[in-house]
Structure 1
Amino acid sequence: IKICSKSWTEGYYFKPRADHELLQKYHKGLIALSACVGGELPQAILNHDMEKARKVIQFYMDTFGKDNYFIELQNHGLPEEAAVRPVLASLAREYGLGLVATNDFHYTRKEDAGSQEIKLCISTGKTLDDPYHFHFANNEFYCKSGAEMEAILGEYPGAIENTKKIADRCHVTLTFGDHKLPSFDVPEGETSTTYLRKLCEKALPERYPHPSGKERERLDYELGVIDHMGFSDYFLIVMDFIHYAKSHGIPIGPGRGSAAGSIVAYLLHITEIDPLRFDLLFERFLNPERVSMPDIDTDLCYRRRGEVIDYLARKYGKDQVAQIITFGTLAARAVIRDVGRVTNMPLRDVDKIAKMVPSGPGVTLKKTLEGSREFKELYESNPQVHSLIDHCLDLEGLSRNSGTHAAGVVICSKPVDDYVPIQLTQDNFIQTQYEKDQVEQLGLLKMDLLGLRNLTVIHDALEMIEKNRGIHLDINSIPTEDEETCRMLCEGDTIGVFQSESSGFTSLLMKLHPDRFEDLIPMVALYRPGPLGSGMAEDFIKRKHGEIPVEYPHPSLEPILKETYGVILYQEQVMQIASVMGGFSLGQADMLRRAMGHKEPEILQKNRDTFLEGALKNGVDEKTANYVFDLMVHFAGYGFNKSHSVCYGWIAWQTAYLKAHFRPEFMAAMMTCYIGDREKVSRYISDTKRAGVEIAAPDVNLSEAYFSVKGNKILFGLDGIQNVGENAVNGIIEARRKGGPFRDISDFLERVDSRGLNSRACESLIRCGALDSLGRNRSQLLAVLPEAMSNAQSVREDRESGQVSLFGDMDSAKTIIYPPLPDIPQNEKIEWERKLLGFYVSGHPLDAYKKQMAQCIPIYKLNSESAKYDGKAVTVGGTVTRVKGTMTKKGAPMGYVTLEDYDGELEAVVFPSVWEKARPVLTEDAAICIRGRVQSNEREVKILADEIIPLSLFHKTVRPPVSAVHLYVDERHENNMVSDALGRILLKYHGNTPVFLHIQRTRQEIRMVPRFFLDFSEEAEEALKGLLGNACVEGRK
């Protein structure tokens, strides 16, 4: 382990290298072989340097001992091997060393040679027809049998025998399950156990002002389990780094995973969720009947995660803290594309084959061959495809590249390389060479520190709220019932809300109609494939709204299932049912929950018998007990960790509350956090503008480095302007801080440090509108810029030479005369904004086509929900940013068009029949509408165009008009929240189509007043259906 680690950390030069000094230091207990023809000894022989060869042998004999150094013989059919073998055998006899027969083993079977060559090409970015691609001389580098080795090296019988003798001498002992926790430094006279209790006792009245026996009993129980299992140090270590983070202003999440079920974690401020209030179970986190390392995962600010890791390295020693490696593998679709590229198969053919493989977790090529008749027929009928897939089957699942685990950090009681081999990351931090599972199996302390952007957003928003409004808001003390927040969520206004941005989640949320924070907790658990696919989510919502009765399998289960309307939603509920009805301890119940997840028949039957026995003792009949056990088994597959649901539901509520009450500050924080993601920021800008919040171009007199808020207006940050560097931004902000707002361009150029403010930066500031507040239009500022810069340079030189002070306050700069020029046209202004800021800020070319765009599906929806739209006919609108013409195989002209709308970008494939008709309108910046079918894979989304027309004509050919819209309202809709939301939707999409309201309870039909008439666009229809349900919205012709 030491040699491997040092070669990666100290000897790395293109490849990890171990030198003689390293071998001398760590030789004990090792056997050394003389290596293949690339090794020191064979190379010396091939170079006819026998003196060096003898020195090499003597070094290894002296280092490892004569009995631990063997001369290696190989025969892969290489002429170099044939040349060195007799010399090696002779030297072995001369020095009395053993021979050993070996074979380089780069692939398992001989027939795998072709796949291994392809894998090398994938790794090096080459193709097989590249004459310089790295490859082996032949196909002999595989795991050969004893008979094969005898056939090629039989003339050296001792060498064959020594192979087994060496193997028999190798003994490695790895200790699994032995926890190697570092000790926490506690005050003198304390142990980790007593100190942990002291801290908890002190915090108890702070968290619970009037602690009852319930809180004290829970605390005593948890501390007893923690002490018995030997994890007091673990809690103190976690508490310490979280305290460090919070005391240094680093945002930490309220909790993550099952740790929120611990009152000890709550008292230590490791979590901010009260486990007693939400009925969370400690045993789901730490089971006293199943010894395993506790797992406290921590969400923290993604920008400052490194600071916490640095703190751990300083506290425990840089050599005792490491990040964890992770390996990217060749997945089913990806391996087809990689092998196709290496073998030069036409891209169109490769794409077609790859798209036949389903996307999603657990998909393999073997399963696809078994489950897809079309895929199997292509495989069996096409020799080229057969060869491609065979290679892919060999390579699928192999590691493609390595990286650093997004969260995992190891803390050891001794240097990390005492336990596992290490290497260095690109930023020179220690990283384990074992993945997280192996690290945990060896008993090392693994912490998951996950950078979560939403925590950064919350932190930045709170700072802006205090600066802009003078309000200091404690985000953990916001009300859990808030009408404005619930109204916003019920309307589907969820862009930017944690875990709620997808249309699927938004739709579910609108059906659920949350009226308090607690309603978001089940949402986190429900919005998963299992509950959605099984109908469990719909059933839950109907029970909540009283559409179907809430029933309990047995009266004793009502206290457990009441909050989820009789549905077993959480893993903790499975545990509680096992305890209350079956008489299990909560520790046993946790193991039962795990067993149900694995669904092993023998274990399930054994647990069923125990459950029935306990239920009978508790007065439950056998039929009911069997029914309940079957329910538990069924729902255990869908059950979610309630502790995690509470934690993430709370973050969702916090972000929703901030957006509902402090939208400008919250959205400015969102834009800053995702500044590198153009599509997301565009989407946030559009959403913010729709809500009536102005977004202004940057302003040197108001803007900060990033997005900021002044009043009810969001200002673009100076740091986001192309060609304006960090030095220039810092100089502008510093000059403004010292001397106040800039009066004119001369004042600006004279006061700002010129080191980062060159003519290109100044021109960019003018063109994007950042100097508009200086009192002149952009044309005038551009015209006088060279003169103003020259004057400012003269003023600075005079100031540095002391001349300015001789004349007191006399203005040494020449007066700038502005020419009477008209301002730059609006369309040119917004194009410069886009070029220099990456986004349209003060306007958008599509603003002139708002009605037409309302009929189109936003591109971000196609990109974010590609699986939903794959193969479906859609209509998109936007401006053309790129047109590329090409030819089909038959020589017909076709092309590719890149389309951009308010929120995203999409490529359209335009085949010859459409290309010929549409070519006249396909010019850059043209506003067009494309109808076609979506084609998506894991890498990209495209639209295959069926029709392309100017956007101005789109309304004439869009969906058939309706003469009236009929909305059907039943009892579940009859509340203020729904009626308010309905009114807002009708006003938002106001038009000329009459709206009729059908009240099912009274059987009334009401014609709405013209103020509530509708422009029945697809977007309006989607909003109404999201609020009322698909069956409750009807457009009549």
Structure 2
Amino acid sequence: MYINCHSYYSLRYGTFSEVTLLEIAMQNGITKLALTDINSTSACLNFIKEAQEKKMHAVVGVDIRNGIDQKYIVLAKNNEGFQELNQHVTFHLHNHSEFSSIAPSLPNCYIIYPFEKAMEERLYRFSENEFVGISPKDLNRLPFSPFADLKKHLVIQKAVTFRNKSDFNAHRLLRTIDLNTLLSKLPKSEQADPNDILLPPEILRVMYQDYPELLFNTDTILKSCQVDFYFEEHRVNQNQIIYGKNKQEDAKQLEELCYAKIKERYRNPSIEVYERVEKELAAIKEMNFVSYFLINHDILEYARSKNYPYIGRGSGANSVVAYIIGITNVDPIELDLYFERFINEYRSSPPDFDIDFSWKDRDDITDYIFRRFKNTALMGTYVTFQYRAVIRELGKVFGIPKYEIDHHLKGFKVKKSASSDYLKLVEKYAHYIHGFPNYLSVHSGGIIITQKPISYYTSTFMPPKGFQTVQFNMNIAEEVGIFKFDILAQRGLSKIKDTLEIISYNQPDAKVINIDDTEVFKKDPKINKLLNTGDCMGVFYVESPAMRTLMTKLKTNNYLNLVAASSIIRPGVSNGGMKNEFILRHRIPEKRKEAHPVLLDIMEDTYGVMVYQEDVLKVAHKFAGLSLAEADILRRGMRGKVKSKGQFEQVEKKFISNCLSKGYSKELTIEVWEQIKAFAGYAFAKGHSASYAVESYQSLYLKRYFPLEFMTAVLNNGGGFYNIETYVHEIKAKGGFVEPPCINYSDHGNSIKEKTVYLGLGMLKALDFKISQAILNERGLYGKFECFDNFLDRVRIGIEQLLILIRIDAFRFTGIDKHKLLWEAYLKLDKSNSDKQHLVLFKEKKRSFKIPNFYTETIIDAYDQLELLGFTLCSTFDLLAEPLPSKFIANNLKHCINKQISICGKLVTAKGTPTKDKRLMHFGTFIDSEGTFFDTVHFPLIAEKYDIRSNGIYHLRGKVVDDLGCLSIIVDYLERLTILPDPRFTKVNINSKLI
């Protein structure tokens, strides 16, 4: 009898989930009801799935509204009707158009007009599938309305939005947040009826006892609606399953492609290679995954045709077929990667390829996919209300001053005030609303390509980039059999591509090795030395302090070491204590004897320590005697990816029983099992780590042989782990010179000429992009600017934008001090400058003015750079107000192990980490006055006493410790040193000179 129910996917309106709706219905003895969220089908698939599990009859539809104004309700009779209503909603969402008061023809749907709307629109004649919804409050008016005799077109419309008074209060707060107003100003017209709750059926029957036809009609409609989908173990693969004409031709194409390219990857393919290829092709065909490989290959063929760099990773790197046809660059035979980690008889979902593109290229790749494949959409995701954000929103709703909310969030007790009682309500309903979906967004990289039209499954919306996006997330998508393609973006690939372009113009005669020939890089001792010493600034995945420290401890000096390092940095290995054990066994061969002989034999390359996800398969297969497919069930179950709990428990029991039957002690069996549990949920696949390592080696090659070009590319791609200033420092450390933006030499991005890097005009955050382009266009067409006056004649610019260029010293080629130019700008810039035509036949000679001499200081340049660029080009050490309290340098740390030292350093980065007792400690990275990095550890007592969150130069004292060759300082004191103030705002002039 309920055909108009809302979940909290009626965004900023509903107050509980679709699952809760079903539970409420069950508690009241209701076995069939309809979910009709406002202009959304987000929850429909999960509603159907949950109803199937609860043996209930689910009906799905949409409550069509303009804002809060309800127009009509649409219920899907069948799957075709669900597609029709999705198309209807999608059209309006894409076009941002209002819904009309009259529904279009939707033959496989039921249309229910609210009584009031039917009266307003004078709807007296109805099609067979159209009805008028009569709510309890409409019953008194019904006998006197034109619908009194149209009983076969009348149904019960009892809306359900709340469970109780608290839900209604939460609803009002949500509506207020949505309208960005005060609760006291929320109009009643923007709220639902507080009586919109689910009543027991017997009460509803009593209310409509005078109208048995309405009860019968409503029940008939609900019974006749049947939208069917299959989920989890019963699901059907909904992805595009045919790439070409038919499955047979697809299989033939993949096979021919593989054998045609096999010698490109293996110069002399062994029998092992051919056997592995045959085994994989057979499994791929049997599991019906051929199209998945061909679609990925198609996408990458397009990328190669456009010269877009990419990297294929994920479990797909375990496939030799994927390696041969170019989806990945990781040889699974070389690394002993199990294909069963990728595809096995127990796995119903398609294999997993994560493909990274440059952040500059991904939109074009996405556009190609949408053009190439018919039924395509981006995966959706819901951004939920987070507790602290809700506190702030509700603070505004109740009109509480911002400072009181800030104090409340910081844990301070606010003095008794008019807001005190409201803060209690804010706290209560922040917990209530926390976790509700707030708005629909786009998944970071998921794209779906389905066999049937997207509208068969959902409505879509159109985000700013113009690619339709589904209204549900990846979890329900996978459960119904829709599996995403991961088309991801990263900046590391852009750095590689941009470096090659920069080398081509800055060193056109340089010999550059093919960037894809990573085998050469892996064997280069000069490149491997960068890993060993942690000299990896700007290099993808290995530049962070944690990774640099790890590689130093491991003495990383080859590809396999780097693959291991990429994995053991992950929480699974670290949390289980296996990270330190691996390092010790790697450094001290005698320690390897401590491994259990069977485990050492199984994982010889990692000294008997589980490092990769594949190690779970190895241990389960070789130690416990499970099949590889059963072992993968174990691995996936540890990661929460096995939906059937019974299936996982069955494999778990078999693991333990097999170990005991093999003669292993119960203690050893349980110990190994616990290691797997602590490890499997967080570990990297070895192929994933190997893929990252390949890209790291490409960057390392460029960093070693073309450091200035590489670091320029790093700057042009927004840096990396560190701030821009740190990368500028790295350029100088590699023998380069860094110049501020110049109107004659700078481009929009950063550029390099021999050893000088010119910061781009785009680095000036306050400079308008149009001005930057006008300068570059003018210079490109008519040559460099001859002088300041020449610039003013040729470029239309306002005084504020001109002052930015002068203050950053962009006119230094003129030889005129910028302080004089500031005066000239005010005196010479024609107020009508912005209205001038680009070229004039006779240029009016600008007047010259006698400008007095000025006193200036170099520190002024530093402050201007800090304001306009965000960092200074001089050393921050040169700006200190007092001499350094310590001249100790980081290069001397090795001589002071276990000794107390005092050192000064500029903060590069600091990471806070909670301890087991929930206190905070810090790991810091600093740079000394000579440009050498050093690391610090700040235990909770010191971290709480001395703050290192703000940038600057610090004086630190502490003990030098050596942890497997990695030196750091255990800090017991630090103090932030004072820098000189901006003299323009003080009365004291220091180091001033006469211009």
| TM-score normalised by structure 1 residue count | 0.71
Task: Find the aligned partners of 1:604 and 1:7 in 2 and give their Cα distance.
Answer: 42
2:909 maps to what in 1?
861
CA offset digits 1:657-694 (Å, max 9, x no partner): 4444433323322222228x998324433454566643
1:360 maps to what in 2?
none
Match of 1:828 among 847, 853, 860: 860
2:993 maps to what in 1?
none
Match of 2:757 among 708, 714, 735: 714
1:124 maps to what in 2?
179
- State yes or no: 1:307 paired with 2:307: no
Match of 1:202 among 226, 237, 260: 260
Task: Find the aligned partners of 2:290 and 2:215 in 1 and give their Cα distance.
Answer: 54
Secondary structure of residue in 2 paired with 1:404 = strand
Q: Deviation of residue 300 (structure 1)?
A: 0.8
Q: Deviation of residue 827 (structure 1)?
A: 2.7
Q: Deviation of residue 514 (structure 1)?
A: 1.5
1:221 maps to what in 2?
279
1:71 maps to what in 2?
132
Task: Find the aligned partners of 2:91 and 2:287 in 1 and give their Cα distance.
Answer: 38
1:30 maps to what in 2?
109
Distance change in 2, residues 1:787/1:396 (3 Å): closer
Match of 1:462 among 500, 505, 516: 500
Task: Find the aligned partners of 2:543 and 2:244 in 1 and give their Cα distance.
Answer: 45
Match of 2:558 among 495, 498, 516: 516
Secondary structure of residue in 1 paired with 2:461 = strand
8 Å Cα contact 2:602-2:622 kept in structure 1: no
Secondary structure of residue in 2 paired with 1:549 = helix
8 Å Cα contact 1:875-1:931 kept in structure 2: no
2:5 maps to what in 1?
none
8 Å Cα contact 2:572-2:680 kept in structure 1: no
Secondary structure of residue in 2 paired with 1:92 = coil
Task: Find the aligned partners of 1:158 and 1:792 in 2 and give their Cα distance.
Answer: 79
Match of 1:526 among 562, 568, 588: 568
Deviating more after overlay: 275-284 vs 821-830: 821-830
8 Å Cα contact 2:711-2:730 kept in structure 1: no
8 Å Cα contact 2:639-2:682 kept in structure 1: no
2:616 maps to what in 1?
574
Q: Deviation of residue 423 (structure 1)?
A: 2.1
Over aligned residue pairs, what C-alpha RMSD do you find?
A: 4.7
Secondary structure of residue in 2 paired with 1:274 = coil
Task: Find the aligned partners of 2:557 and 2:189 in 1 and give their Cα distance.
Answer: 63
Match of 1:768 among 804, 808, 815: 808
- The one-letter amino acid paired with 1:237 is I
Secondary structure of residue in 1 paired with 2:274 = helix
Task: Find the aligned partners of 2:215 and 2:326 in 1 and give their Cα distance.
Answer: 63
8 Å Cα contact 1:115-1:395 kept in structure 2: yes
Deviating more after overlay: 384-393 vs 573-582: 384-393
CA offset digits 1:1005-1029 (Å, max 9, x no partner): xxxxxxxxxx999699xxxxxxxxx
CA offset digits 1:337-356 (Å, max 9, x no partner): 44444344565665566567
Distance change in 2, residues 1:159/1:789 (3 Å): same
Q: Deviation of residue 772 (structure 1)?
A: 1.4
CA offset digits 1:893-928 (Å, max 9, x no partner): xxxxxxxxx99xxxxxxxxxxxxxxxxxxxxxxxxx
Task: Find the aligned partners of 1:514 and 1:224 in 2 and give their Cα distance.
Answer: 39
Q: Deviation of residue 789 (structure 1)?
A: 7.2
Task: Find the aligned partners of 1:2 and 1:969 in 2 and give their Cα distance.
Answer: 65
1:646 maps to what in 2?
690
2:718 maps to what in 1?
674
- State yes or no: 1:94 paired with 2:149: yes
Distance change in 2, residues 1:784/1:4 (3 Å): same
Aligned residues: 848
Gaps of 5+ in 1: 45-51, 358-373, 375-381, 804-811, 879-901, 904-929, 944-950, 990-1014, 1021-1037
- The one-letter amino acid paired with 2:181 is K
Distance change in 2, residues 1:7/1:294 (3 Å): same
Match of 1:249 among 298, 304, 307: 307
Q: Deviation of residue 728 (structure 1)?
A: 4.4
- State yes or no: 1:540 paired with 2:582: yes
Q: Deviation of residue 114 (structure 1)?
A: 0.8
Gaps of 5+ in 2: 1-81, 414-419, 887-901, 927-931, 934-941, 977-995
8 Å Cα contact 1:857-1:876 kept in structure 2: no
Distance change in 2, residues 1:942/1:684 (3 Å): closer
1:362 maps to what in 2?
none
Task: Find the aligned partners of 1:932 and 1:628 in 2 and give their Cα distance.
Answer: 39
Q: Deviation of residue 717 (structure 1)?
A: 0.6
- State yes or no: 1:408 paired with 2:446: yes
- The one-letter amino acid paired with 1:310 is D
Q: Deviation of residue 115 (structure 1)?
A: 1.4
Deviating more after overlay: 688-697 vs 867-876: 867-876
Match of 1:848 among 880, 892, 895: 880
- State yes or no: 1:295 paired with 2:327: no
Distance change in 2, residues 1:155/1:393 (3 Å): farther
Task: Find the aligned partners of 2:657 and 2:94 in 1 and give their Cα distance.
Answer: 66
8 Å Cα contact 1:126-1:133 kept in structure 2: no
Task: Find the aligned partners of 2:649 and 2:943 in 1 and give their Cα distance.
Answer: 57
Task: Find the aligned partners of 2:454 and 2:584 in 1 and give their Cα distance.
Answer: 54
- The one-letter amino acid paired with 1:828 is I
Q: Deviation of residue 877 (structure 1)?
A: 15
Task: Find the aligned partners of 1:466 and 1:336 in 2 and give their Cα distance.
Answer: 54
Q: Deviation of residue 494 (structure 1)?
A: 4.8
Task: Find the aligned partners of 2:607 and 2:924 in 1 and give their Cα distance.
Answer: 41
2:397 maps to what in 1?
342
1:1002 maps to what in 2?
none
Q: Deviation of residue 18 (structure 1)?
A: 4.2
Q: Deviation of residue 397 (structure 1)?
A: 1.5
Q: Deviation of residue 96 (structure 1)?
A: 3.9
2:631 maps to what in 1?
589
Task: Find the aligned partners of 2:839 and 2:320 in 1 and give their Cα distance.
Answer: 65
8 Å Cα contact 2:633-2:651 kept in structure 1: no
Distance change in 2, residues 1:168/1:1016 (3 Å): closer
Secondary structure of residue in 2 paired with 1:544 = helix
2:517 maps to what in 1?
477
2:229 maps to what in 1?
174
Task: Find the aligned partners of 1:827 and 1:467 in 2 and give their Cα distance.
Answer: 35
Distance change in 2, residues 1:8/1:427 (3 Å): farther
1:11 maps to what in 2?
92
Q: Deviation of residue 424 (structure 1)?
A: 1.7
Match of 2:541 among 499, 520, 525: 499
Task: Find the aligned partners of 1:340 and 1:858 in 2 and give their Cα distance.
Answer: 39
Deviating more after overlay: 485-494 vs 197-206: 485-494
Secondary structure of residue in 2 paired with 1:592 = helix
8 Å Cα contact 2:299-2:365 kept in structure 1: yes
Task: Find the aligned partners of 1:780 and 1:819 in 2 and give their Cα distance.
Answer: 10
8 Å Cα contact 1:722-1:764 kept in structure 2: no
- The one-letter amino acid paired with 2:182 is T
Q: Which has the higher helix share?
A: 1
Distance change in 2, residues 1:164/1:205 (3 Å): same
Task: Find the aligned partners of 1:391 and 1:526 in 2 and give their Cα distance.
Answer: 42
8 Å Cα contact 1:457-1:669 kept in structure 2: yes
Distance change in 2, residues 1:673/1:623 (3 Å): closer
Secondary structure of residue in 2 paired with 1:407 = strand
Secondary structure of residue in 1 paired with 2:588 = coil
- The one-letter amino acid paired with 2:339 is F
CA offset digits 1:216-263 (Å, max 9, x no partner): 11111111111112222221111111121122132212x221111111
- The one-letter amino acid paired with 1:700 is I
- The one-letter amino acid paired with 2:289 is F
Q: How does 1:786-935 map to 2 (within 5 A)?
A: 825-842=857-874, 847-848=879-880, 851=884, 861-862=909-910, 864-865=911-912
Percent identity for Structure 1 against Structure 2: 25
- State yes or no: 1:607 paired with 2:651: yes
Q: Deviation of residue 135 (structure 1)?
A: 4.7
Distance change in 2, residues 1:36/1:439 (3 Å): farther
Task: Find the aligned partners of 1:333 and 1:134 in 2 and give their Cα distance.
Answer: 29
